[in-house]
Structure 1
Amino acid sequence: MLNEQTIAIMNSLKLFGMARGLSERLAGTAHAELSHADFVGLLIQDEQTYRDNQRLTRLLKNAKLRQPATLEDIDYTHTRGLSKQVMLDLATTQWLDARRNVMVTGPTGVGKSFIACALGNSAARAGYTVFYTRAPRLFESLQQARGDGSHLRLLDKLSRVQLLIVDDFLLTSLVDSERRDLLEIIEARYDAGATVVASQCPVSDWHPAIGDPTMADAICDRLLHNAYRLTLKGDSMRRRQEAANHAESSAERGGKQ
């Protein structure tokens, strides 16, 4: 009865990890060989693990990543100009701590979004706040925020997140309000947070696609300064996978005849 009361008190104090750990450990026999200090130490570790897992779940949920990609799942067998050494550098948190940006460019289907989401996943697992958005949705949300009075609040949220991921950047040229919003975001994040940008538009074409020369200078200077540049090339990996699946399916049908 005393153990049940202890577990109930732990739960009331929101020590859910310790409560679950105590219940599980009392169900076994290994705890009998431990000293009181060691047993309490294990319960504290249970609580720490529980809180770490809860934080990770929350970070990944808030990140809103487009796909559950990981750096370990990146395919280096296809020739697309992706440096494994650079990705090993990005697998550490040094670039996040240094507030360095990452620009991922290349044609459709070469894995830009996957790499961007993998970087976001890695950052969240390291304890950083992450937010993923597609550029068209970002500018649409900012435009709507102007109407309901939450524009400044949204800009502040985008400036404070430790890793901002903007996918499908410059699918179309920017209009004046989009240029201004983008400059506000990039200016606020400069030396304050890391940004990953994924775009089909080559970096050499960003200046004219952004529009206004003065604002384009300011945006490009802040985005590209000391940034990692991953310039991908090659055929669509999605089409390759579809062709491979089709060939495999045809082979299976042929084998059954």
Structure 2
Amino acid sequence: MTTTTTAEPMGPSQASLYQQLRGHLAALKLTAAAEHLPAVLDQATAEGLSVTAALERLLALEVTDTEARRLAGRLRFASLPSPATIEGFDLDAAPGVDPALINELATCRYLETATNVLLIGPPGVGKTHLAVGLARKAAEAGYRTYFTTAADLAARCHKAAIEGRWAYTMRFFAGPTLLVIDELGYLPLPAEAASALFQVISQRYLKTSIILTTNRGVASWGEVLGDTTVAAAMLDRLLHRSVVLNLDGDSYRLRAHHAATDTLRRATTGTARPLQ
């Protein structure tokens, strides 16, 4: 007589546990962890990792992915006009700039004290490059950053006033920890534009930082803004807690032109001497 025995009910299979774990990660929106789970489990088996070590490795991948997404979002919001970096700035071509000061600004510690940075110099010496590089460092450090030109800021404020969105626009420009205002002085500003710029600077005063680039010395800001009283009040707020860099030297574009000419001369004449 044959006796049939019933097997003990089996617990969830390894495959089922794996699918449940993937489902949990997906439900928690830990997409990077879910994506890398198979590889981490394989590594845990191959390397004999403990459960704690395997979890740390898995969650570290999720943290890295999350930080990368957040940085990408901050950079999109920042609206930087170029991929310029502090590391790519040619300090040798800017003898008046202290490398130690640039390195200090790159730490972003000035943002903690709502210190402003004024970059003053003729066109082409790297003011915008430095401003973009510092803005990039701020975004990388986790600070909300926004880049605009003085003309675009003025135009946006003018449109907001017409459309009844003035308060909203002022809140927008007050929000970022770092606001970069590029190219003040390149185009004349009408009275209402100068007033808008002053109000943006005033509401950020001693609260958040501004980087401002200009080709005009502070003594001529009254001419730029069309009102010496507004210019004085604006400078009073900007300079109260600030770092001022005066840049000089040959234009970046002229240096690039000279370098290209030298390369062409060497290729065609075999000498670096100017053609006679």
TM-score of the superposed pair, with normalisation by structure 1: 0.92
Q: CA deviation at 1:29?
A: 5.6
The residue aligned with 2:130 is 115
Shift of 1:67: 1.1
Which residue of structure 2 aligns with residue 177 of structure 1?
192
- Which residue of structure 1 lines up, in the alignment, with residue 158 of structure 2? 143
Q: Secondary structure at the match of 2:93?
A: coil
1:154 aligns to what?
169
Amino acid at match of 1:22: L
| Contact 1:210/1:216, CA 8 A, preserved across alignment | yes
Partner of 1:191: 206
Aligned residues: 255
Q: Secondary structure at the match of 1:72?
A: coil
- Cα 1:193–1:59 change in 2 (3 A) is same
Which one of the candidate residues 262, 267, 270 is aligned to 1:247? 262
Q: From the superposition, tell whether residues 235 and 27 of structure 1 become closer, same or farther in structure 2 (CA, over 3 Å).
A: same
1:8 Cα deviation after fit: 3.8
CA distance in 2, matches of 1:30, 1:105: 60
Distance 1:7 1:254, change over 3 A: farther
- Asked if 2 retains the 8 angstrom alpha-carbon contact of 1:80 and 1:110, the reply is no
Contact 1:159 1:189 in 2 (8 A): yes
Whichever of the two has the greater Rg, that structure is: 2
TM-superposed CA distance for 1:5, in Å, is 4.1
- Paired position in structure 2 for 1:96: 111
Report if the CA contact (8 A) 1:207-1:220 is conserved.
Answer: no
User: Structure 1, residues 199-242: CA drift from partner, whole Å, max 9, x if none?
Assistant: 11112211332232332221110111121111011221211112
1:75 to 73, 84, 90: 90
Backbone CA RMSD of aligned residues:
1.8
Name the CA distance, whole Å, in 2 between partners of 1:31 and 1:51.
27
Kindly state the Cα deviation for residue 37 of structure 1 after the two structures are TM-superposed.
1.4
CA-CA distance at 1:155 after TM superposition: 1.2
Deviations 1:33-91 (A, max 9, x none): 11111211222222211111111111111101111111111211114411111112101
- Tell me the secondary structure at the aligned position of residue 74 of structure 1: coil
> 1:1-257, aligned counterparts within 5 Å?
1-2=15-16, 3-28=18-43, 32-254=47-269
Deviates further, 183-192 or 243-252:
243-252
Q: Which amino acid aligns with 1:23?
A: P
The residue type equivalent to 2:255 in the other structure is: R
Contact residue 44 and residue 50 of structure 2 kept, 8 A: no
Residue 32 of structure 1 deviates from its aligned partner by 4.6
Deviates more, 1:68-77 or 1:127-136: 68-77
SS in structure 2 at match of 1:168: strand
| Amino acid of the structure 1 residue aligned with 2:212 | V
1:31·1:39 contact (CA, 8 Å) conserved in 2?
no
* 1:114, distance to aligned residue in structure 2 (A): 0.2
Deviation at 1:27, TM superposition (A): 4.6
Amino acid at match of 1:107: P
Unaligned runs of at least 5 residues, structure 2? 1-14, 271-276
What's the CA shift string for 1:145-202, capped at 9, x where partnerless?
2233322211111011100000011223332211221121111101111100011111
Q: 1:46 to 1:79 in 2, by over 3 A?
A: closer
